[in-house]
């Protein structure tokens, strides 16, 4: 049994009288501890699939299972707990809280995820992760004083500080130049390896596919290619 699988996932939106099928039966198995890249043209359904996989919106049909639990038939509160504790999220923009320092962003995340660690262990973990992303020296800085690349590194740290099992990333490098994009991807790759985090990443940037272990290409709501690299 695999950690995370999607089976025949469908999504339909009602447009006036007409039903439009956006996801037409998607099957994907995420290899555990590896990076799966979801690629394809704009409008092919990548972001919708990612948000459905992450339990942020509901599917119209199909099954999504995480650790042998069926996300699609779960009650909201159960799903919320899984999202907060077992999943991590990164988006195109860092979305840091403007009035919190770098360190406080991570503190807040541990609180939200109801971290089982003691306060002291949390402090240690935050220091370790900030050193890893080379931001310990900027721990007291506010987002406004950080560069785009630094903000996104903090967003990556915040997404994994609570030791999630699955990391969902939607175009995590789309707001960065190619050098910063590679840095962020190297960081995601390193964290995924060291902490055995399973990653589902949406990207339309083919340069980022070199960091993936598994590439799934979508077109018009269907999978047209699925390969382990
Ligand atoms: N709430 C919605 N209602 C109707 N159509 C939607 C909605 N959200 C997204 N879509 C449509 O679903 C398609 C796939 O969108 P999306 O997953 O964002 O594509 P991608 O991330 O691959 O660029 C697009 O054609 C978009 O217009
Ligand atoms: Mg998208």
User: 117-155 burial, b if ≥16 CB within 10 A, otherwise e?
Assistant: eeeeebeebbeebbebbebeebbeebbeebeebbbbbbb
| pLDDT given at position 1 | 57
| pLDDT given at position 17 | 86
- pLDDT tens for 118-150 read 999 999 999 999 999 999 999 999 999 999 999
| pLDDT given at position 16 | 86
Starting from the CA of residue 172, give the closest ligand: 2
| pLDDT given at position 2 | 78
Q: Are 79 and 55 in contact (CB under 8 A)?
A: yes
Token code pair at residue 66: 């995480």
Q: How many domains does the chain have?
A: 1
Which residues in the chain come in under a pLDDT of 50? none
| pLDDT given at position 15 | 84
Host domain of residue 28: 4-228
Mutating to test ligand 1, I would choose from 18, 40, 45 the residue with most ligand atoms within 8 A of its C-beta, which is 45
Residues near ligand 1 with C-beta < 6 Å?
13, 22, 42-48
Distance 36 CA to ligand 1 centre (A): 21
Which CATH number belongs to the domain containing residue 123 in this structure?
3.40.50.300
- pLDDT tens for 85-120 read 999 999 999 999 999 999 999 999 999 999 999 999
| pLDDT given at position 163 | 95
């Amino acid at each position: 049994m695999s950690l995370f699988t999607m089976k025949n996932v469908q999504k339909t939106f009602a447009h006036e009288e007409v039903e439009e099928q956006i996801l037409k039966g998607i099957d994907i198995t995420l290899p555990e501890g590896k990076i799966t890249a979801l690629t394809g043209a704009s409008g092919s359904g990548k972001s919708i699939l990612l948000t459905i996989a992450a339990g942020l919106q509901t599917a119209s049909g199909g099954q999504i299972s995480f650790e042998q639990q069926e996300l699609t038939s779960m009650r909201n509160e159960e799903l919320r707990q899984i999202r907060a504790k077992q999943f991590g999220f990164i988006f195109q923009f860092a979305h840091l809280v403007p009035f919190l320092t770098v360190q406080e962003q991570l503190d807040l995340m541990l609180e939200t995820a109801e971290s089982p660690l003691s306060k002291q262990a949390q402090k240690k973990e935050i220091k370790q992760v900030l050193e890893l992303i080379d931001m310990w020296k900027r721990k007291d800085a506010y987002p406004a004083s950080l560069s785009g690349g630094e903000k996104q590194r903090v967003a990556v740290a915040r997404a994994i500080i609570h030791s999630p099992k699955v990391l969902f990333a939607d175009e995590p490098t789309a707001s960065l130049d190619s050098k910063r994009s590679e840095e962020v991807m190297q960081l995601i790759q390193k964290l995924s390896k060291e902490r055995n985090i399973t990653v589902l990443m949406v990207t339309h940037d083919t340069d980022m596919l070199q960091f993936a272990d598994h590439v799934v290409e979508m077109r018009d709501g269907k999978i047209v290619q699925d390969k382990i690299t």
